Amino acid sequence: MSIDKRILELGLNLPTASDPQGSYCNCVRTGKLLYVSGKGPVAGLSVVPKGKLGQEYTVEQGYEFAKATGLDILAAVKLELGSLDKVSRVVKLQGFVNATPDFEQHPKVLDGCSDLMAKVFGEKGVHARSVFGATSVRGNLPIIIDSIFEVTD
């Protein structure tokens, strides 16, 4: 089954990939690796969330923001490659959670994106990852995620 069909089967819709917010590009491919610049939960939303986990937002809301960010990541990958079927593996996710100093649930927030990748790609979607708390991120978004994919020609 194609990845596009799998996404539809899951009841998901890919947004139009968000544009870079500075002097960089969405993706860089070197060899079999595709590096995706940091994305946030902005694509396809009428209202962009702004604020911190542990203050304006709960862990559950953060999970949904990470999932929305994952959809933007997939949209950027599809735009770059032409097809998500060219993804042979999700290699790594790295999340930056905009959070209060006492917030401790960073991994549960990033699970929103991790779970999405596993549902979309199956075993190929299980990846390495790291997550950090940040006192400030671009646009005061609640989360930013960058990612690495292994791809085929």
pLDDT of residue 81: 97
What is the structure's pLDDT at 141? Answer: 97
Cα–Cα distance measured from residue 96 to residue 93, given in angstroms and rounded to the nearest whole number: 10
Q: Based on the structure, what is the number of domains in the chain?
A: 1
- For each successive 10 residues of the chain (153 residues), what is the average pLDDT? 94 93 95 98 88 97 97 98 98 98 97 98 98 96 98 92
Q: Which pLDDT score, from 0 to 100, does residue 1 have?
A: 82
Query: What residue numbers bound the domain in which 34 lies?
Result: 3-151
Alpha-carbon distance of 97 to 106, in angstroms, equals 6
Provide the pLDDT for residue 46.
Answer: 82
CATH number of the domain encompassing residue 63? 3.30.1330.40
The answer to whether 94 and 134 are in contact (CB under 8 A) is: no
Residues pairing with 36 in the sheet? 27, 147
pLDDT attached to residue 21: 86
